[in-house]
């Protein structure tokens, strides 16, 4: 967790450098900016998940399983049990989707366990060897600490909610529910009168879901990453000749170890919450109110 970069710009510069993405502008006039580091680590972790699970499935045995197969079977059984208890509709997609969300979000969160200076330092070394200024070698390794990632996943869940609602209730039933729930009425005039209120509540309800999903995950992971950076600041620019360096080094080790142990629970819990809320939202979309 120790800070290995020189204190050329002080604590503020160090923090800003670690919170700056490796970006590429696309189109004339910077029409769009891509966070290349987020895309890269998301792709690599997604590929790691797919390849490892495919290999496990192909090498699976009916007898005594190996350690990795047993680990995968525990995860699959755990997720499948949650889906059976929570989702009351019929879908072959929901279990694989839930498993993908849980494992992928966990892997992206787990990147926060990598020492905060390790990957940025390695990237800066390669950047300098390529003839560029290492001060501009930006890299962030936690995809879920990027709001674009969490919001993009929540938008995907939002679209799935609408698809599940239409597929289970039909377009007519789905549309009717928008204007008749939660306030029900028997007479036609009352249905017409309550329709605007029902529509407004439905819009609010649907809009809150992607916001809550994305901001909860992003907030927890961004805060966790920031705390690791603040812990690294304890020995930023330290000198071996200074006695306080050793005192702060011990404090840094203890605080870093404690936060790492606690953060393991956070990254697992956040992956679980994102998965469970997705299952609950899709179950609600499939049920008739």
**Cis, peptide link before residue 182, omega less than 30° from 0:** yes
Q: Give Cα separations from 16 to 75, 136, 173, 210, 230 (angstroms).
A: 37, 11, 51, 28, 12
**Residue of 212, 239, 244, 288 with catalytic role:** 212
3-state secondary structure of 32: strand
Give the CA angle between residues 176, 178, 179 to the nearest 5°.
Answer: 70
How far is the CA of 196 from the CAs of 173, 174, 192, 193, in angstroms? 17, 16, 8, 7
Whether 140 is catalytic: no
Q: Which helix (H) or strand (E) holds 261?
A: helix 243-286
> Contact 139/37 with Cβ under 8 angstroms?
yes
Among candidate residues 11, 91, 216, 283, the one labeled active-site is 216
212 is catalytic: yes
Euclidean distance between CA atoms 153 and 159, whole angstroms: 10
Q: Is 148 a catalytic residue?
A: no
Cα dihedral 273, 276, 281, 285 in deg (nearest 10): 170
Q: Which residues are marked as active site?
A: 212, 216, 220
């Amino acid at each position: 967790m120790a800070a290995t970069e020189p204190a050329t710009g002080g604590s503020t510069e160090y923090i800003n450098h670690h919170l700056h993405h490796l970006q590429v502008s696309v189109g004339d006039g910077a029409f769009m900016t891509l966070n290349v580091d987020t895309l890269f680590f998301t792709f690599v972790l997604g590929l790691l998940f797919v390849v490892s699970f495919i290999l496990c499935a192909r090498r699976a045995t009916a007898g005594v399983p190996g350690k990795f197969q047993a680990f995968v079977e525990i995860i699959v059984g755990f997720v499948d049990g949650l889906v059976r208890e929570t989702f009351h509709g019929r879908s072959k997609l929901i279990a694989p989707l839930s498993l993908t969300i849980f494992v992928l979000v966990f892997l992206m969160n787990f990147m926060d366990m990598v020492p905060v200076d390790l990957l940025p330092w390695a990237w800066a070394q390669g950047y300098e060897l390529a003839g560029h200024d290492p001060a501009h070698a930006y890299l962030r390794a936690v995809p879920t600490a990027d709001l674009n990632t969490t919001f993009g996943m929540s938008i995907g869940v939002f679209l799935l909610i609408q698809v599940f609602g239409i597929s289970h209730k039909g377009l007519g039933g789905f549309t009717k529910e928008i204007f008749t729930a939660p306030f029900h009425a028997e007479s036609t005039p009352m249905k017409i009168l309550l329709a605007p209120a029902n529509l407004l509540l439905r819009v609010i309800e649907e809009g809150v879901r992607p916001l809550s999903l994305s901001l909860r995950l992003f907030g927890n992971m961004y805060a966790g990453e920031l705390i690791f950076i603040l812990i690294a600041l304890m020995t930023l620019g330290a000198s071996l000749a200074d006695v306080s360096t050793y005192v702060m080094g011990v404090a840094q080790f203890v605080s870093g170890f404690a936060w790492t142990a606690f953060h393991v629970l956070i990254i697992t819990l956040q992956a679980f919450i994102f998965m469970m809320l997705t299952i609950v939202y899709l179950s609600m979309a499939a049920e008739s109110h």
